[in-house]
Structure 1
Amino acid sequence: MARAQGARAQMALAFETVYGTAPAIGYTRVPFASTTLGSEQPLITSELLGYGRDPTAPIKDAVTADGDVVVPIDAEAFGFWLKAAFGEPITSGTGPWTHEFRSGGWTLPSMSIETAMPEVPRYAMYSGCVLDQLSWQLQRSGLLTATARLVAQGEAVATTTAAGTLAELALKRFGHFNGSITRNGSALGNVVSAEITYANNLDRIE
């Protein structure tokens, strides 16, 4: 049995036109540090009495597909996660552009995300992914990453990719050392660390 290597693992995403329908093209390879995206169907232990000491067969529970994705905060790919959290930004300028993300949108875009382990091979496509929570920590040193908590509609596993040819983005990663915290354009003093969490408080429709 082949062993998957993290050096060859890939994640590709594309925004959906129709919720829950994975696009055939338009996927972009995005950097990620770890992921717990997966589908799960627990088994419920039977509560019945009178059938002896041996347990009776368990009952299948509802299927859920969700998980967290840890991603670096960078200049390009992080925009996908901001769009998933807030919706389409208001863009101005002619390069460099200014993207303004606003909270409170009624509709959020959904994504299809494929995680690939070519050695196995295993290509898991998660359709209908909607971002429930986005959080990150600010501190003096260390790696700057964010955690995106996703709720998906389902998982489809195949031995070949369904994402096609992926678009590539240049990795331009930010670090804690280059960051600052301002309020109304003025720097805040004596801020040692901070934690930011943005939640959409999604309700599942089972």
Structure 2
Amino acid sequence: MARAQGARAQMALAFETIYGTPPASGFTKMPFATASLGAEQPLQASELLGYGRDPLEPIKDALTADGNVVVPIDAEAYGFWMKGAFGAPTTSGEGPYTHVFESGNWSLPSFSVEVGMPEVPSFAMYSGCMVDSFSWSMGRSGLLTSTVELVAQGEDLSTSTQIGTPATLSLKRFGHYNGSVERNGVNIGNIVSAELTYQNNLDRIETIRADGKIEGADPSIAAMTGNITVRFADATLLNQAIGGQACALTFGYALPTGEALTVSVPRVFLPRPRREISGPQGVQVTFAWQAAQQANGDPMVSVTIVNGIEGY
């Protein structure tokens, strides 16, 4: 009897033409570390009386399909998740290509994801997937991964794959040592760690349907937040927080072979932080920043990826 193992699990993704309808082709194999994407349907216990102490059989409740995938931040595959989060990019160049994803789109693309465990065999197709949020942490060492939160319309199970042979990508991962954080175009000194989170704040359309699935998910007011932790060595960030001024933050990675990923947040506000002295070691200060749209209405955040893919 075969038993499912994560080492043999497979994931593939393709964007949909019609929401909730998996495309017949065009799937791409996606690298991932973990996945909690799944559908669940709880049971409602019977409340009826007069049938003795033992309860009557329960009934099914509404179906919920969502979860997250933890993926490597790389030069090629991560662009698919960025397209889900922001919409199709503006692409320029003739190889390498520069893809610019921008926030602010009212309409976001949906996609289908198949997660397969071939040894059972069990293949789950999640249709109507949309990116609710993505986040990651920057540090000095360790594996660089991003958590992508998804909302799906539903799950369909099969004993065989429904996608044929998916396309494959070259895995070119960025590492923490490839990273940089800049304020107004200048590297921030004494930075210990950084976190950033983008949220679409999807609003699920939970209509009455015979199949129990949602009607869709509409993007609401977006949010770009995070924090930066620095060794307290000067008052530059503290003075900005006290004064209420905005600054531009840029989080970037670059490989020696030319591939790059840059997150630009042009208008960031810092809160006034607490400066705690917890012992004889160096004093660290954490600024939990928030971003806003630019004064001229330009996007709150843009993600630029440079790679060899012609288009997403």
| Same fold, TM-score > 0.5, yes or no | yes
- Counterpart for residue 67 of structure 1: 67
- Counterpart for residue 78 of structure 1: 78
- Counterpart for residue 167 of structure 2: 167
Q: Which amino acid aligns with 1:129?
A: C
- Counterpart for residue 148 of structure 1: 148
Q: Which consecutive residues of structure 2, in runs of 5 or more, have no partner in the other structure? A: 207-312
Q: Which amino acid aligns with 2:85?
A: A
Does 2:21 align with 1:21? yes
How many aligned positions are there? 206
Does 2:193 align with 1:193? yes
- Counterpart for residue 179 of structure 1: 179
Please state how far the C-alpha of 1:95 moved relative to its aligned partner: 1.9
> Which 4+ stretches in 1 moved above 4 angstroms?
none
SS at match of 1:201: coil
Q: Which amino acid aligns with 1:168?
A: T
Mapped to 1, the partners of 2:6 and 2:36 lie a distance apart of 14
Same amino acid, percent of matched pairs = 70
Mapped to 2, the partners of 1:149 and 1:126 lie a distance apart of 14
Mapped to 1, the partners of 2:189 and 2:57 lie a distance apart of 62
Mapped to 1, the partners of 2:162 and 2:76 lie a distance apart of 23
Superimposed CA distance per residue, residues 37-82 of structure 1 (whole angstroms, 9 cap, x where no aligned partner): 1111101123334433212222211011111111000010000001
> Structure 1-normalised TM-score?
0.96
Please state how far the C-alpha of 1:199 moved relative to its aligned partner: 0.5
Mapped to 2, the partners of 1:149 and 1:61 lie a distance apart of 23
- Counterpart for residue 123 of structure 1: 123
Larger radius of gyration: 2
Mapped to 2, the partners of 1:84 and 1:9 lie a distance apart of 22
Does 2:103 align with 1:103? yes
SS at match of 1:19: coil
Q: Which consecutive residues of structure 1, in runs of 5 or more, have no partner in the other structure? A: none
Please state how far the C-alpha of 1:165 moved relative to its aligned partner: 1.2
Mapped to 1, the partners of 2:14 and 2:181 lie a distance apart of 32
Mapped to 2, the partners of 1:107 and 1:184 lie a distance apart of 31
Please state how far the C-alpha of 1:93 moved relative to its aligned partner: 1.9
- Counterpart for residue 55 of structure 1: 55
Mapped to 2, the partners of 1:78 and 1:142 lie a distance apart of 18
Q: Which amino acid aligns with 1:103?
A: S
Q: Which amino acid aligns with 2:126?
A: Y
- Counterpart for residue 91 of structure 2: 91
The structure richer in strand per residue is 2
**Whose RCO is larger (CA < 8 A, sep 6+)?**
1
- Counterpart for residue 216 of structure 2: none
Please state how far the C-alpha of 1:8 moved relative to its aligned partner: 1.9
> Structure 2-normalised TM-score?
0.64
Mapped to 2, the partners of 1:195 and 1:47 lie a distance apart of 47
- Taking only aligned residues, the RMSD between alpha carbons, in angstroms, comes to 1.2
